[in-house]
């Protein structure tokens, strides 16, 4: 069933997507909009119609329209015309981060509500400037921090907010991702290994994971002491079989984050987020423990990119039936369904206006939530660079 099915109602939201291409070729890595946004929207055709697609070429936009049988979707290659297209209620941008601002500006000017992939900007300044513009226009925004919609994260939030594990006494996160390791799949673009682009080991797997964890715990960060390191300044290219191809490429993005932090109420949080191969022994690629006075929570994943991989949650508390393993649901597809959760929530709250989600269970993260995370990441780097504990209490203020 395509989003253009007969289920579309007058209430449905018309979404224009920037960056929904279908691509081709042996080494083709399908874009995120194709992997996540399109299938998410296709699941709720009664709520969303894809009204338009803007790609860098008209042929690419037309190919997507034709290939996906989006019969009522208008293809664009002109940003200005796309921005002025009256059928777009909401504009989703899912392209390289440094392009976000220039692509969003005309759409903001045209009073479109915006769903932007995380990170919002290639820098915090850029994200703040985008936020300022949407606030001036009083637009609704969604930021693609979709881990907040993972069923396991929502379950943890429920366990904690209902006091099942009592007062939280410690939070720890350890993770490893090959993105920051000694080798690089040759199919990967160098884009995510150049820090100026803002989309990298630090902002993406670490940023999503930190956001999801803090959201689940429901506590603001008070201060951080951190080491943010670049241990690998070069990577060896490997082929699809992980064999070295004999080529070394440079990398200036960080690959190791170690944090001793405090949440509000002085709850300690300890983080090791490292680059490298999956460990042959020891914890899985993502391992998070949350301990409370009455219970304990463990969540794990095979991927540090836990915003798009299934999370295995287990917990136990005073009065629970031993150790409970949470069921994500047999049809759960983390890649699609977390993004789906954002669209569902945006639809549910389409007639109300909120500047940020914060730690609320309902609703969806906004550009304000995005800027908070941008600021937090900056403070973590600042602690590393200055050798000082950095107070972050003010990142929540606008």
Q: Please, what is the minimum distance in Å from the beta carbon of residue 303 to a copy of itself?
A: 17
Strand runs labelled E in 24-167: 48-54, 74-76, 90-93, 113-117, 141-144
CB of 259 to a copy of itself, least distance (A): 6
> Measured from the CB of residue 235, what is the shortest distance to a copy of itself in angstroms?
13
Selection from 65, 62, 63, 35 nearest residue 49 by Cα? 65
- Minimum Å distance from CB 388 to a copy of itself? 6
- Token pair listed for 190: 């160098």
Q: How far is the CB of 42 from a copy of itself (least distance, A)?
A: 36
- CB nearer to a copy of itself: give 69 or 169: 169
Nearer to a copy of itself, 104 or 228 (CB): 228
Q: What is d(CA 16, CA 90) in angstroms, rounded to the nearest whole number?
A: 6
The two beta strands, 168-177 and 268-275, are parallel
Q: How far apart, in whole angstroms, are the C-alpha atoms of residue 103 and residue 13?
A: 20
Which one, 97 or 259, has the nearer CB to a copy of itself? 259
The partner residues of 111 in beta bridges, in order of sequence, read none
Tokens standing for residue 387 = 């050798």
When the beta carbons of 195 and 314 are compared against a copy of itself, the nearer one is: 314
| Residue whose CB is less far from a copy of itself, 145 or 176 | 176
Q: Which is nearer to a copy of itself, 40 or 224 (CB)?
A: 224
Contact 329, 338 (CB under 8 A): no
Give the distance, in angstroms, between the CA of residue 110 and the centroid of all CA atoms in the same chain. Answer: 26
Of residues 23 and 268, the one with the C-beta less far from a copy of itself: 268
Q: Nearer to a copy of itself by C-beta: 181 or 365?
A: 181
39 three-state secondary structure: helix
- Count the neighbouring beta carbons within 10 Å of the beta carbon of residue 242: 10
For the record, the structure tokens of 48 come out as 């969303």
Smallest separation, CB 390 to a copy of itself (Å): 9
Q: What angle do CA 286, 292, 294 make, to 5 degrees?
A: 130
Residue 226's beta-bridge partner residues? 259
**Short-list 124, 130, 86, CA closest to 104:** 130
Using CA atoms, how far apart are residues 30 and 22, in angstroms rounded to an integer?
7
Instruction: Report DSSP state, residue 34.
Output: I
Residue 166's Cβ-count burial label (10 Å; 0-12, 13-18, 19+) is middle
Cα 96 to the center of its chain, rounded Å: 14
Rounded Cα distance between 219 and 373, Å, is 13
Q: How far is the CB of 397 from a copy of itself (least distance, A)?
A: 21
Toward a copy of itself, which CB reaches closer, 261 or 365? 261
Q: Rule CB under 8 A: which residues touch a copy of itself?
A: 169-170, 172, 174, 176, 182, 223, 225-227, 229, 231, 256, 258-262, 266, 268-272, 274, 276, 279-283, 287, 289, 291, 293, 295-298, 314-317, 323, 383, 387-389
Question: What token pair was written down for 75?
Answer: 């293809």
Name the residue nearer to a copy of itself (CB basis): 100 or 251.
251
User: Smallest gap, in angstroms, from Cβ of residue 288 to a copy of itself?
Assistant: 9
Q: CB of residue 267 vs a copy of itself: minimum separation in angstroms? A: 9
Q: Least distance from C-beta 330 to a copy of itself, angstroms?
A: 23
Pairing of strands 244-250, 286-292: unpaired
């Amino acid at each position: 069933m395509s989003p253009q099915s007969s289920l579309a109602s007058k209430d449905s939201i018309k979404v224009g997507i920037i960056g929904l291409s279908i691509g081709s070729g042996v080494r083709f890595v399908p874009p995120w909009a194709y992997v996540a946004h399109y299938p998410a929207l296709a699941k709720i055709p009664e709520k969303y119609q894809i009204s338009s697609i803007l790609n860098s070429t008209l042929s690419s936009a037309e190919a997507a329209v034709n290939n996906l049988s989006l019969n009522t979707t208008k293809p664009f290659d002109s940003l200005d015309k796309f921005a002025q297209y009256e059928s777009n209620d909401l504009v989703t941008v899912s392209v390289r981060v440094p392009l976000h601002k220039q692509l969003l500006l005309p759409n903001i000017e045209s009073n479109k509500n915006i769903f932007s992939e995380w990170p919002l900007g290639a820098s915090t300044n850029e994200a703040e400037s985008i936020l300022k513009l949407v606030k001036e226009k009083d637009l609704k925004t969604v930021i693609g921090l979709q881990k907040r919609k993972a069923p396991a994260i929502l379950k943890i939030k429920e366990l904690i907010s209902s006091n099942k594990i009592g007062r939280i006494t410690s939070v720890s996160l350890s993770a490893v991702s090959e993105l920051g390791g000694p080798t690089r799949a040759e199919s990967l673009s160098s884009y995510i290994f150049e820090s100026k682009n803002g989309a990298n080991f630090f902002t993406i797997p670490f940023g999503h994971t930190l956001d999801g964890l803090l959201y689940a715990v429901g506590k603001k960060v008070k201060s951080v002491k951190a080491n943010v390191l670049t241990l690998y300044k070069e990577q060896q290219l490997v082929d699809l079989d992980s064999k070295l191809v004999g080529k070394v490429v440079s990398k200036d993005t960080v690959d190791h984050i170690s944090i001793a932090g405090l949440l509000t109420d002085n709850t300690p949080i300890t983080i090791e987020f490292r680059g490298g191969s999956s460990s042959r022994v020891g914890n899985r690629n993502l391992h998070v423990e949350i301990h409370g006075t009455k219970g304990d929570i463990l969540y794990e994943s095979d991927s540090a990119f836990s915003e798009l991989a299934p999370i295995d949650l287990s917990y136990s508390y005073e009065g629970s039936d031993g150790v409970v393993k949470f069921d994500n649901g047999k049809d759960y597809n983390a890649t699609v369904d977390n993004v789906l959760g954002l669209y569902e929530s945006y639809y549910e709250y389409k007639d109300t206006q909120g500047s940020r989600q914060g730690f609320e269970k309902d609703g969806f993260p906004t550009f304000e939530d995005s800027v908070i995370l941008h600021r937090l990441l900056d403070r973590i780097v600042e602690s590393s660079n200055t050798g000082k504990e950095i107070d972050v209490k003010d990142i929540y203020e606008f």
